[in-house]
Amino acid sequence: MDIALAKKRIKELRETIEYHNYKYYVEDDPEITDFEYDKLLKELEDLEKQFPELITPDSPTQRVGGKALEGFDTVVHSVPMQSLSDVFDEKELYEFDNRVKSVLKFQEVEYVVELKIDGLSVSLEYEDGIFVRGSTRGDGIIGEDVTQNLKTIKSIPLKLKESVPYLEVRGEVFISRDNFIKLNEKREILEQPLFANPRNAAAGSLRQLDPKMTAERKLDIYVFNIQQVQGKRFDTHVASLEYLKSQGFKVSPTYNVFKDIKDVYTEILRLGDDRGKLPFEIDGAVVKVNLLAQRDILGNTSKSPRWAVAFKFPAERKETIIQNIYVQVGRTGALTPNAILEPVKLAGTTVSRATLHNIDYIRQKDIRIGDHVIVQKAGDIIPEVVEVVKDKRKGDEQEFHMPTQCPVCGAEVVREEGEAVTRCTGIECSAQLLRNIIHFASRDAMNIEGLGPAIIEQLLNKGLIKGAADLYYLKFEDLIHLERMGEKSAKNLLNAIEKSKDNDLSCVLYAFGIRLIGQRAAKLLAEHFGSIDNLAHANFEQITAIHEIGDKMAQSVVNFFKQEQSKDTIEKLKSAGVNLKSKKQEKGKDSRFEGLTFVLTGTLVNYNRNEAKEIIEKFGGKVSGSVSKKTSYVLAGEEAGSKLDKANQLGIKVIDEVEFEQMIK
């Protein structure tokens, strides 16, 4: 294809893709499937790769930057991004109305009432209709340049339908309730800290230095104000919103106009009653003067405009009764007690369950079955018990005790010293299978390439696997029907599964996810006992005899191999032909690095950090994260940093990759 044809096709593709972006992300009315959309985007990506000189900043392919940032540049807001004054009740709202009318000499005033979305305020700037910069509010005067991250939000138009010389708008970035729950579920699986509420999730996501991470969070935005514009003039706020909507922006979903402040208050109450039904979180309603000329007269204080207020909704609380307490097993094996409540209407929805977090939370608040309690929604999403109404106790309330066995699979449950969480230890527990199999297939464990969380989830949902060992019994016809799994991908995955059968016993032990047993401990156990059978029959004393294996680690291993689920998994792995012996013991141990400690720094050409670490440990050496007088060698790659400087200061031997390869030949 010559460049003229490519230019024409690229223009067609961009217009088509942005049209479907608008239908899907703004109007919520998609016309094509995700698969068809992906095909269009892939064709555009391929053409731009072939003709890079045709790439423009407003291309849909530029919504996810290719390179992570080192930090954010600052942006000075030429129009300050002020915060709103808050009012909390009907009286304060009427006082606002009186102040407005007294300044305007009691002119007739129209008020626009909008939802106050609980997210992160940003500015979007356009030059000649092209999105050129996006920034956070910061302190109202100076914010951060988050342009690349904002480009990942597909409800933000990269190109306006009308090429105005300059436009700056203000909007609220947020994450929907559903996406917030999915994000926390994913973080739970990866054992990452959970976000407390959608606002925190949105703020944290927008400030990622890698735009690809922001893109994964599926943020959204509602635009609610024009900060400044050239080439256009508006008389009312509503007219400006209608214009923004015509240019492809997603504007506040509800904005109604009222002349009487009593009607404004009625509308605020309606929005408060309905907030639990919304797909996103709000923390109030915004009341604005509609006529822009009146806004100019009213002006601003140093902190906030005099022509608008935010009516803040209090966290709604209700009294109810705890009818029972049951335990839910999460995807990481965490046991969470939950209260079954006498149903109560709260923040627009009927609540019949509430999280009790953990046993410490229950003890601190002295929560018992049969108690009258006060409940609220944390972040308007997750119902929780705030306090017990103790003066309503009758004496027949029952204390709750955590179970000693998993309510899902019957395996032993444990609570580590210093941890609030109680966990199930069952390797085949259905409640935590997804997380267990993700770990089993991960790079540092069985290293099954191409087996990501999405595929594992499909395999579980379709009943094709019920545990990690079942991966080795999958067939081509099982995989070919999975979503986005072609013939080549299916064959590659089967090959990767087959290849993993030859892994060392240490990989299998680490893949089991035995509590307290990391990669180093798994290697020590594999080398010492030589086979899975020897380790399975070892007692506590025999395991603690290994240097570096402590009492808690040894007891964890003994407990693991006592479980019927563990025995079942091992038998399935044996039948599938998975290697369950230590290759190092079979071949004889080369201890050339015995007693030596290495520190790795910089980027190596032929090895990643894990590969170099494995080689050193294979020869009996140790790898440390810091340089000290006990360090034997510092292996330095490109862009080595402070560790190299410290090694030189201490006179530690520094080797490069060439010398390292000579040492391991």
The per-residue pLDDT for 72 is 87
Residue with tokens 């102040």: 99
Residue with tokens 């600052």: 74
Kind and range of the H or E run holding 521: helix 519-529
Are the C-beta atoms of 331 and 345 separated by less than 8 Å? Answer: no
Q: 3 in helix, strand or coil?
A: helix
Architecture of the CATH domain 85-312: 2-Layer Sandwich (3.30)
Kind and range of the H or E run holding 648: helix 642-650
Q: 145 in helix, strand or coil?
A: strand
Are the C-beta atoms of 252 and 238 separated by less than 8 Å? Answer: no
CATH code for the structural domain at 3-63: 1.10.287.610
Ranges of residues in the chain with a pLDDT under 70 are 28, 34-35, 64-70, 191, 347-348, 378-381, 585-589
Are the C-beta atoms of 159 and 68 separated by less than 8 Å? Answer: no
The per-residue pLDDT for 67 is 55
The top-level CATH class assigned to 316-424 is mainly beta
Q: How far apart are CA 59 and CA 548, in angstroms?
A: 55
CB neighbours of residue 663 within 10 Å: 17
Say which CATH topology domain 597-664 has.
Answer: Rossmann fold (3.40.50)
Which residues sit opposite 316 in a β-bridge? none
Q: 610 in helix, strand or coil?
A: helix
The per-residue pLDDT for 245 is 95
Among the listed residues 250, 246, 273, 224, the one whose alpha carbon sits nearest the alpha carbon of residue 113: 224
Q: How far apart are CA 494 and CA 367, in angstroms?
A: 51
Residues 6+ apart with CB under 8 A from 464: 470, 474, 478
Are the C-beta atoms of 644 and 634 separated by less than 8 Å? Answer: yes
Q: pLDDT tens digit string along 574-615?
A: 999 999 999 875 445 677 888 899 999 988 888 888 888 888
Could you tell me if residue 166 is left (phi over 0), alpha (psi between -120 and 50 degrees) or otherwise beta? beta
Q: 288 in helix, strand or coil?
A: strand
Two tokens, residue 360: 């410490």
The per-residue pLDDT for 586 is 46
Residues 6+ apart with CB under 8 A from 89: none
Q: pLDDT tens digit string along 186-197?
A: 887 776 778 878
The per-residue pLDDT for 584 is 73
Torsion sign (Cα): 64, 67, 72, 73: negative
- Cα angle 507, 509, 510 (rounded to 5 degrees) comes to 65
SS3 percent helix, strand, coil of the chain, rounded to 5, is 40, 25, 35
Q: Cite the residue boundaries of each domain of the chain with CATH code 1.10.287.610.
A: 3-63
Are the C-beta atoms of 175 and 183 separated by less than 8 Å? Answer: yes
Residue with tokens 């223009």: 11
Are the C-beta atoms of 619 and 590 separated by less than 8 Å? Answer: yes
> DSSP string covering 572-612, please?
HHHHHT---B-HHHHH----TTTT-EEEEESB-SS--HHHH
Say which CATH topology domain 430-586 has.
Answer: DNA polymerase; domain 1 (1.10.150)
Two tokens, residue 155: 């409800």
| Number of H-type helices and E-type strands within the chain | 25, 22
Residues classed as catalytic: 116
Q: How far apart are CA 225 and CA 229, in angstroms?
A: 11
Two tokens, residue 549: 């294996």
Residue with tokens 């409800």: 155
Specify the DSSP class assigned to residue 54.
G
Q: Cite the residue boundaries of each domain of the chain with CATH code 1.10.150.20.
A: 430-586
Q: Cite the residue boundaries of each domain of the chain with CATH code 3.40.50.10190.
A: 597-664
Could you tell me if residue 149 is left (phi over 0), alpha (psi between -120 and 50 degrees) or otherwise beta? alpha
Q: What are phi and psi of 136, to 5 degrees?
A: -80, 165
Are the C-beta atoms of 243 and 232 separated by less than 8 Å? Answer: yes
